[in-house]
């Protein structure tokens, strides 16, 4: 749904000045003291510390909009969703909901573990607001989608986590809610069920349902959402296009202490600048980005055609690639360095020349250097091709490459990374992200990363298949033949 259309409608969810503070007691008896002593007039202080989970959250969702909330663990995402769904009360602020809400918050929420799956369908349906006759009419569809077989008549305390999610999600979507709220629940199911769920979510989007969900999957947010919100330490740092917000989330993800605080302030300043900038002039807006890309490369179409005509006429193995200094990424996000810095990132042709117009079917190399300012071990280098909308297409890293690859470095070292690849992408514009990671406390963390570092334009090759569609070229060769002929059919094939 377009933003213009959304703006003409009143919000279906409106959150204003929301705050939530929890009391934290060091010992169980402190909770009792806090309850009893003030009533007796004996206490002169408090026996708890306060933790503010949400601070002044204001957010609105238009009807038919899909919004993803991203953020680090403990940022307040689940608390926000629980307040929106009414299972928690805010300390301050208000939430206005205009429609039926179905929610998948935490595993088993709304289920009685002693009840069977069948009984819980009626219980959960009633909580959502469905009438018994409505549940009766849709029960077979709910059971078919959940696909848990004979377990439908077994107590849900015997269910696996995946079975819980199957049944809960099935009830939620068959309630045909105006608003669907999901808190990471779908990550529990297997891949086949996840795809089934996302297909149903897409169908709900088509019929105009509003969807609000929390996910740690950047790709899910980019692919499904109209808008994304980055929440951190109980505050909204930035909201806007999914690609832009996810980029800032990933930038913040592995930072702690002073570095995290500094990056938070940078993101907040960036958001404030966006608020003061006309949307049409925002180069980081996805729609503007696509439009700018189309305008920027329209002038190169004639030049590209000339190259392709040359390729068709020449018999020799010419390289049609070239470098356009005006083809630059306007959405680059650079992570703070954690002991390494990526330098001189480029794409080169087989002759070693830097290029950013490349031809489908040809061999190229992604090249960059990494300068280290501390000693590191178990290094991981990589790159990724993404679409203009931020969808990850393909990439490579040295995770499974044995020595003699450089897996260690000392302060002052510079390592050159070269990755040869065949361009099997369809013609269009793409972005390259590059990064370097190291093992820290048994997990890989980014030492440095540049998201959307380079813009690359893929041109048509001379041996392009006439049948390939989509984003990747499969080199297809399609054939069709008549196996039976209808005697009354005079059509010639």
CATH code of the domain covering residue 337: 2.70.50.60
Rounded average pLDDT over 189-207: 78
Mean pLDDT of the chain: 82
pLDDT band at 487 (very low <50, low <70, confident <90, very high): low
Q: Residue 434: enclosing H or E segment and its boundaries?
A: strand 428-440
Domain total in the chain: 1
For the cut 90, the answer to whether the pLDDT of residue 8 exceeds it is no
Rounded average pLDDT over 133-154: 92
- The answer to whether residue 70 sits within a structural domain is no
- The answer to whether residue 46 sits within a structural domain is no
For the cut 70, the answer to whether the pLDDT of residue 255 exceeds it is yes
Rounded average pLDDT over 283-288: 45
CA atoms of 347 and 360, how far apart (whole Å) = 14
- The answer to whether residue 305 sits within a structural domain is yes
Q: For 86-118, what is each residue's pLDDT tens digit? A: 888 999 999 999 988 888 776 666 788 899 999
Rounded to an integer, what is the distance from CA 375 to the centroid of its chain?
33
DSSP state of 460: P
- The answer to whether residue 288 sits within a structural domain is no
pLDDT band at 21 (very low <50, low <70, confident <90, very high): very high
pLDDT band at 220 (very low <50, low <70, confident <90, very high): confident
Rounded average pLDDT over 48-64: 91
CA atoms of 20 and 98, how far apart (whole Å) = 22
- The answer to whether residue 375 sits within a structural domain is yes
Q: Which residues of 142-154 are buried (b: 16+ CB within 10 A; e: fewer)?
A: bbebbebeebbee
More confident residue, 394 or 317: 394
More confident residue, 280 or 29: 29
- The answer to whether residue 491 sits within a structural domain is no
CA atoms of 106 and 97, how far apart (whole Å) = 21
- The answer to whether residue 384 sits within a structural domain is yes
Containing structural domain, residue 388? 301-459
- The answer to whether residue 343 sits within a structural domain is yes
Model confidence, pTM = 0.72
């Amino acid at each position: 749904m377009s933003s213009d259309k959304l703006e003409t409608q009143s919000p279906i969810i409106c959150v204003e000045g929301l705050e939530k503070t929890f009391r934290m007691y060091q010992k169980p008896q402190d909770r009792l003291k806090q309850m009893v002593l003030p009533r007796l007039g004996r206490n002169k202080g408090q026996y708890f510390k306060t933790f503010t989970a949400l601070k002044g959250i204001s957010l609105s969702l238009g009807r038919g909009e899909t919004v993803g909330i991203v953020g680090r663990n403990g940022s307040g995402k689940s608390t926000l969703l629980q307040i929106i769904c009414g299972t928690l009360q805010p300390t301050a602020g208000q939430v206005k909901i205009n429609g039926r809400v179905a929610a998948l918050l935490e595993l088993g929420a709304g289920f009685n573990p002693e009840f069977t799956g069948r009984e819980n369908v009626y219980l959960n349906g009633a909580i959502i607001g469905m009438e018994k006759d409505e549940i009766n009419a849709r029960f077979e569809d709910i059971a078919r989608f959940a696909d848990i077989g004979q377990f439908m008549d077994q107590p849900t305390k015997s269910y696996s986590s995946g079975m819980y999610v199957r049944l809960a999600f099935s009830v939620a979507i068959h309630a045909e809610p105006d608003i669907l709220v999901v808190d990471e629940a779908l990550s529990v199911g297997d891949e086949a069920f996840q795809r089934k769920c996302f297909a149903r979510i897409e169908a709900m989007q088509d019929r105009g349902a509003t969807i609000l969900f929390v996910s740690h999957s950047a790709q899910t947010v980019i692919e499904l959402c109209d808008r994304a919100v980055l929440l951190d330490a109980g505050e909204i740092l930035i909201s806007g296009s999914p690609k832009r917000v996810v980029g800032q989330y990933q930038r913040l993800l592995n930072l702690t202490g002073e570095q995290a605080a500094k990056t938070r302030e940078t993101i907040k300043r960036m958001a404030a600048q966006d608020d003061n900038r006309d949307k049409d002039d925002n180069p980081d807006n996805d729609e503007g980005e696509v439009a700018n890309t189309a305008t920027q490369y329209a002038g190169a179409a004639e030049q590209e055609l000339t190259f392709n005509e040359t390729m068709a006429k020449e018999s020799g193995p010419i390289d049609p690639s070239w470098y356009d200094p005006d083809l630059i990424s306007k959405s680059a996000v650079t992570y703070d360095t954690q002991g390494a810095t990526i330098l001189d990132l480029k794409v080169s042709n087989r002759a070693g020349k830097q290029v950013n117009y490349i031809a489908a079917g040809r061999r190229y190399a992604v090249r960059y250097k990494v300068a280290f300012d501390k000693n590191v071990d178990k290094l991981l280098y990589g790159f990724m091709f993404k679409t203009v909308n931020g969808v990850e297409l393909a990439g490579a890293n040295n995770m499974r490459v044995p020595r003699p690859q450089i897996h260690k470095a000392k302060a002052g070292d510079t390592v050159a990374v070269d990755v040869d690849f065949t361009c099997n992408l369809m013609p269009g514009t793409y972005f390259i992200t590059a990064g370097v990671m190291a093992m820290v406390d048994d997990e890989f963390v980014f030492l440095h990363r540049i998201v959307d570092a380079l813009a690359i334009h893929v041109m048509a090759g001379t041996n392009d298949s006439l049948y390939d569609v989509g984003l990747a070229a499969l080199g297809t060769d399609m054939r069709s033949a008549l196996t039976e002929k209808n005697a009354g059919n005079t059509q010639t094939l």
